[in-house]
Structure 1
Amino acid sequence: MLRDVNNGYRGLLVILSAFMIQFISFGISLSIGVYNVEFLDYWSDRKTVSVSLIGAINIGFFLGAGPLTSFLMWKLEHRTIVMIGAALSTVGMLPLPYLSSLDYYCAFYGVLAGLGFCFVYVPSHVMSGLYFDKHRSLATGVATAGSGLGNTVMPIFIAYLIEEYSWKGSLLILAGLCFNLFVFAALLSPLPPNTTMELIVQEDVKERETMLMVQLENVALKQPQEPETISDIEVLVQERGLEDCNKMSLNKSGSTCTCTKEVNTQQNCLENVDTQSFEESEISTHAVPGESGTMEKNNTPQCSEKDEHSKKPLSIFCDFKFDVFFFNNLLWNTTSLMAFSFAPEFFVTRDISKIDAAFMMTVCGFGTFTGSVLGGVVGNCACVNRLVFYTVACLMLGLPLVLLPIVESDLIVYTALMLGFGMFFGIVLGLLVIITSDLLGSDRIGDGLGFLMLSNGIGCFVGPVLAAAIREAMGNYDSVMYTAGLICVLSAVLMMLIPVQALLCDSHSRKHDMALKYTSVQESS
């Protein structure tokens, strides 16, 4: 059973709330393709690019306002921000049936509803990751599955509402649905005090113990002419914040010191660590490589200027891996919104009825739902390289879009391709938070996810506009699908730079070590 950080079940309630929030917000935003068919008929005198701005602005603010939301999470409670988002999304949707200007739709549906969806999505998604440690990948995958289920149910549900109540009447019903976001916001229990520090302690102490044992073993292997005293080892133990744990007993034997580990559990150690002193003496294990703290003789840790700089939100862009991940997100979001915005219109031009086109988007949403759960489950397996799994999912995400224009008008084949597209889209979404945690550390999930939302928002804004421009230039939607697929393949290729950079750094490190050993041998001889 999944449990939250306090061994209770409030985390499960947070997961349920995040699931339903994503169900509503993503379900409405990603169903814009169904409305685009109606919008193009209603504003027949306007160009496709102009009509595409409605959905582009909405999803752009939905994801692009991530940094603003991340900043607000430092100032306000997560639940408060979600409440504000629920109000904005409801106000943005409610007047739409009574408006007739495309500009007003861009302002209310695009800006207000999009900003509201961002405010409800980011804090709830971050909380689903913070409440869990061991099963974080699975927890965030289950929460992300809400977006897939919303994208499954909403297109066919909206198509039914349009048939029964017209497209303007359906918008009024969706406004009522947005009002329910207040309920799910109320269920987001705030994290208990000092929970964030407890999570960092649990994640860091094991690695610090390993580093300590390695350094102590190195001390024991030193030459007799370089003796170490008991006090030197005690200083090392104190630097690691373990002096109160009673885990280490020191014995002096001749000119060397040995360290023996008592049979004491890590949990007892965590109970004895003073979190305040740990926070003051912490040298983050998730800092940018090459940054470290310096210790004075009085054993008081002093962080360098680089460590202070690494705590700033923008410092995450000093990490090459995150920079690659940022642009990868921009590319695959461009692809996704090109497909979600104009796939229904593409199917209509292939002599597929509007209701069948909406059904295929529903199948795509079902694939997203299953893919999100699959991505969370597989990503939680220790034997799986999550970065490779994510890269392969990005590559496969573009393949169905390239195949769509090649296939003849076959409803079954189209359905299968959209199912595959949705499944790989869900896998990518399900791994988003856990990959961010792997690259930056759990203590910087909020900052990382906030800036990724900016990347996603830029891609989602560019996608529909780019697709409309290609449609106007080429006169068909085939070129739109080809372009979307190739952009997604490019996003996968970009992710391959991360292991390449790691290999190059490892090779350089080995050469450096060999040079040091050679120099040492020469000096000794």
Structure 2
Amino acid sequence: MIPKWWCLMIVFSAFMIQVISFGTAGAIGLYNIEFIDYFNVGAAEVSLVGSINLGVFLGAGPFVSLMMRHMSYRRVAVIGSLLSTISLLCVPFLDNIIYLYIIYGIFTGLGFAMVYLPSSVLAGLYFNKHRSLVTGIATSGSGIAAVIFPLLVHSLIQYYGWKGSVFILAGLSLQCIVFSALLFPLAEKPDRKELKSVLTNSNIHDKQTNHPDIDHMRNNGKCENYNGQTCISENDKSVQQNCKVTKLMENSEPAAEKSLNHCYVLCDFSFFIFFLNNILWNMGVAISWILAPEYFVSMGLTKENAATILTFGGVGCFIGCIIGGGLGNIQSLSRLSMYISLNIAVGILLMFLPFKIFQSVEILSLIKFLYGLGFGGILGLLVIFTVDLLGEKALGDGFGYLMFSNGVGSIIGPPLGGALKDSLGTYDPTFFFAGTLIVVAGLLMFLIPIRDKFVPRPKKTATELTIEVISIHNI
């Protein structure tokens, strides 16, 4: 039996995994100048290294979620840690940028995806009442990474050269094995034969689907769901049998039984809209993330000023993840309304950048901080909102496809933004375009309540709603 306090260790592990994985992936931009000189190639070829890495990191979600179906989350994360570490160790020995595309771009990105997805999903599954706050805290690791790693990697390159610094990053990546080893599963998956036997012995099909004592027993704490991990009475054998039915039924995978197709989550209209939303806002965010430093320099600011502005964005992202997760935990607030509002606000803030009146270090830092707050809030709501749309049992598959949508947006957005700048000769239209994409992404989410108003979502059957207490009638 896993102690109750271990859930805090799961959150800590997910937080640290995000710090290391996102920090390492985001720091690749600092190596671009070194790669240009070392491999004797152009900036476009070098920028593709980071694009492939980020695209695979975020886009491998469906593949990783498929692995999570067939092995434990902890095993997937440990394998990913080893893969990312070994890949980083190979980078200093590569003498051709094509190999860098494969080793760093594909294998390191895949390794980090295999570490990130299981830790994020498991942190969400360990909690029910405070799930939104917990996932916000875990996600805030990406904000901390945006603050720490640029300064850290810059110092490492100065002291040890780019090759020596990559070895140190590989050592940090190796620590993900430790954090991955802490990802204990909630419970083992039930054996189908055992499930059938228990159901037969309990005569569950002969029982009523409601009982007047159910609500009373819930209120007195005698019957809790799977997250509570307790049952009505440990002394009554019949009750223990009923509790066994509850645990087996709740650990079965109803979504998987509905469809053997791994992409069944995309058949849900609301989640499909959420999927498209993530593609659009990630296109805008990727444009601002990759092109903002050069844009700030083109305004006449120094590289140090640009780094300072980006640091404020990282601080805002860290705080926003926690605030977004906390607000998402308040039942009286609509998570959908918050998510839409944050999308629109982030897009509008991005469209402020081209105006000359805002182009000073102080104002740009403030805008970037507010932008980071909104972006962090969006990240903090992703897991809990996925649960709202699909339920707990489909969280792994759903979040895997969200990562895929993030990867698609991250790969498509920057080339479009760069092409727009090349054709018009200025970055101003590029950032108007990026902000518009994010605003449109937020407006797209209005299709969910509109559709639900005219076509209500199917309700669960009585058996699905009361399966955890359906056999209380035996008491």
TM-score range, shorter chain: 0.7 to 0.9
**Which of 242, 254, 268 is matched with 1:274 structurally?**
242
Provide closer, same or farther for how the CA distance between residues 136 and 89 of structure 1 changes in structure 2, counting only shifts above 3 A.
Answer: same
Deviates most, 347-356 or 389-398: 347-356
Matched, 1:247 2:242: no
Provide closer, same or farther for how the CA distance between residues 391 and 147 of structure 1 changes in structure 2, counting only shifts above 3 A.
Answer: same
Q: Which amino acid aligns with 1:482?
A: F
Residues 157-200 of structure 1 show CA distances to partners (whole Å, capped at 9, x for unaligned) of 223333444444433322222121112112222323469x9xxx
* Correspondence for 2:19: 23
Alignment of 1:185-334 (within 5 A): 185-193=180-188, 238-240=207-209, 247=213, 265=220, 267-268=222-223, 270-271=231-232, 272=239, 274-275=242-243, 277-278=245-246, 308-310=257-259, 312-334=261-283
Q: How many residue pairs get matched?
A: 434
* Correspondence for 2:107: 112
* Correspondence for 2:178: 183
Alignment of 1:4-403 (within 5 A): 8-36=4-32, 46=42, 48=44, 50-193=45-188, 238-240=207-209, 247=213, 265=220, 267-268=222-223, 270-271=231-232, 272=239, 274-275=242-243, 277-278=245-246, 308-310=257-259, 312-403=261-352
Q: Which amino acid aligns with 1:477?
A: Y
Q: Which amino acid aligns with 2:22?
A: F
Instruction: Write the distance in 2 (CA, Å) between the matches of 1:399 and 1:109.
Output: 35
Q: Which amino acid aligns with 1:60?
A: G
Instruction: Write the distance in 1 (CA, Å) between the matches of 2:25 and 2:219.
Output: 53
Offset, 1:357: 1.9
* Correspondence for 2:379: 429
Matched, 1:465 2:390: no
Deviates most, 271-280 or 345-354: 271-280
Matched, 1:454 2:454: no
8 Å Cα contact 1:52/1:465 also seen in 2: no
8 Å Cα contact 2:53/2:105 also seen in 1: yes
Provide closer, same or farther for how the CA distance between residues 74 and 262 of structure 1 changes in structure 2, counting only shifts above 3 A.
Answer: closer
Matched, 1:477 2:427: yes
8 Å Cα contact 1:36/1:341 also seen in 2: no
Instruction: Write the distance in 1 (CA, Å) between the matches of 2:217 and 2:371.
Output: 54
8 Å Cα contact 2:217/2:223 also seen in 1: no
Deviates most, 116-125 or 411-420: 411-420
* Correspondence for 1:444: 394
SS of the residue 1:31 aligns to: helix
Instruction: Write the distance in 1 (CA, Å) between the matches of 2:43 and 2:454.
Output: 49
* Correspondence for 2:368: 418
Provide closer, same or farther for how the CA distance between residues 476 and 88 of structure 1 changes in structure 2, counting only shifts above 3 A.
Answer: farther
8 Å Cα contact 1:54/1:105 also seen in 2: yes
8 Å Cα contact 1:14/1:127 also seen in 2: yes
* Correspondence for 2:472: none
8 Å Cα contact 1:407/1:413 also seen in 2: no
Deviates most, 139-148 or 479-488: 479-488
* Correspondence for 2:197: none
Instruction: Write the distance in 2 (CA, Å) between the matches of 1:20 and 1:501.
Output: 39
Provide closer, same or farther for how the CA distance between residues 51 and 19 of structure 1 changes in structure 2, counting only shifts above 3 A.
Answer: same
Q: Which runs of 5+ in 2 are unaligned?
A: 193-202, 225-230, 233-238, 458-475
Residues 3-27 of structure 1 show CA distances to partners (whole Å, capped at 9, x for unaligned) of xx96611111111010000001111
Residues 233-266 of structure 1 show CA distances to partners (whole Å, capped at 9, x for unaligned) of x9999242x67xx826xxxxxxxxxxx9689735
Residues 221-241 of structure 1 show CA distances to partners (whole Å, capped at 9, x for unaligned) of xxxxxxxxxxxxx9999242x
Provide closer, same or farther for how the CA distance between residues 375 and 486 of structure 1 changes in structure 2, counting only shifts above 3 A.
Answer: same
Instruction: Write the distance in 2 (CA, Å) between the matches of 1:439 and 1:454.
Output: 17
Instruction: Write the distance in 1 (CA, Å) between the matches of 2:28 and 2:426.
Output: 19
8 Å Cα contact 2:56/2:113 also seen in 1: yes
In the superposition, the TM-score normalised over structure 2's length comes to 0.82
Residues 18-68 of structure 1 show CA distances to partners (whole Å, capped at 9, x for unaligned) of 0000001111223344444655676785253x3332111111110111111
Provide closer, same or farther for how the CA distance between residues 171 and 465 of structure 1 changes in structure 2, counting only shifts above 3 A.
Answer: farther
Q: Which amino acid aligns with 1:55?
A: G
Offset, 1:375: 0.7
Instruction: Write the distance in 1 (CA, Å) between the matches of 2:420 and 2:80.
Output: 34
Provide closer, same or farther for how the CA distance between residues 99 and 112 of structure 1 changes in structure 2, counting only shifts above 3 A.
Answer: same
8 Å Cα contact 1:155/1:361 also seen in 2: no
Offset, 1:459: 1.0
SS of the residue 1:267 aligns to: coil
Alignment of 1:514-525 (within 5 A): none
Larger Rg: 1
Offset, 1:310: 4.8
Provide closer, same or farther for how the CA distance between residues 268 and 172 of structure 1 changes in structure 2, counting only shifts above 3 A.
Answer: closer
8 Å Cα contact 1:310/1:316 also seen in 2: no
Instruction: Write the distance in 1 (CA, Å) between the matches of 2:348 and 2:364.
Output: 13
* Correspondence for 1:505: 455
> Higher helix fraction: Structure 1 or Structure 2?
2
Percent of matched pairs sharing the same residue = 40
Residues 381-411 of structure 1 show CA distances to partners (whole Å, capped at 9, x for unaligned) of 1111001101111111212221112135411
Q: Which amino acid aligns with 1:478?
A: D
Provide closer, same or farther for how the CA distance between residues 312 and 149 of structure 1 changes in structure 2, counting only shifts above 3 A.
Answer: same
8 Å Cα contact 1:332/1:487 also seen in 2: yes
Offset, 1:94: 2.1
8 Å Cα contact 2:66/2:262 also seen in 1: no
Deviates most, 89-98 or 337-346: 89-98
Instruction: Write the distance in 1 (CA, Å) between the matches of 2:431 and 2:218.
Output: 61
Offset, 1:96: 2.5
Matched, 1:496 2:459: no
Instruction: Write the distance in 1 (CA, Å) between the matches of 2:40 and 2:171.
Output: 29
SS of the residue 2:222 aligns to: helix
Provide closer, same or farther for how the CA distance between residues 58 and 235 of structure 1 changes in structure 2, counting only shifts above 3 A.
Answer: closer
